[in-house]
């Protein structure tokens, strides 16, 4: 039995050391070629992603710059009085042009507060009604016992 184990070990060691791969080999081996191929592929993907990000960034900068230029030109025109609304120049404000529409002599702000007040009173009335109903039902249930 010991001879079989010894012979098996010798054959295994011989098989292991008869074929060797040297990772430090400077030659053009299959492993070295695969490593270079993977490195080149990763570098290509990295360059593609980087170029795409730069293109997106440049496009965004161009759009932003164009919008800023147009807005600046519009501001210059307004400041110079080229664009005017109803004779207004640099002192334009929306308050002067707003018309106070009234309904039954009250502004929209007054109507908003009246509607909110009525809604609050209605909510309080509903809460009071249901709480009184609950209180009355509870007293009726207590008297039956």
Answer whether 25's CB lies under 8 Å from 35's CB: no
Shared domain check, 39 and 81: yes
* Domain contains 22: no
Q: Does residue 141 register a pLDDT over 80?
A: no
Answer whether 4's CB lies under 8 Å from 11's CB: no
Q: Does residue 87 register a pLDDT over 90?
A: no
What is the span of the domain harbouring residue 48? 28-85
Shared domain check, 73 and 41: yes
**Single pTM value for the model:** 0.31
Shared domain check, 81 and 33: yes
């Amino acid at each position: 039995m010991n001879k079989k184990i010894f012979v098996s070990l010798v054959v295994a060691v011989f098989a292991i050391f008869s074929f060797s791969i040297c990772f430090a080999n400077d030659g053009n081996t299959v492993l070295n070629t695969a490593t270079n191929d993977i490195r080149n592929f990763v570098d290509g993907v990295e360059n593609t992603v980087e170029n795409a990000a730069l293109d997106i960034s440049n496009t965004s900068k161009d759009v932003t710059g164009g919008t800023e230029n147009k807005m600046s030109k519009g501001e210059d025109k307004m400041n110079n009085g080229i664009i005017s609304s109803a004779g207004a120049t640099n002192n334009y404000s929306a308050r002067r042009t707003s018309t106070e529409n009234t309904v039954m002599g009250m502004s929209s702000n007054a109507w908003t507060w009246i509607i909110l007040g009525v809604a609050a009173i209605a909510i309080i009335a509903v809460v009071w009604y249901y709480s009184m109903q609950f209180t009355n039902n509870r007293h009726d249930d207590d008297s039956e016992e």
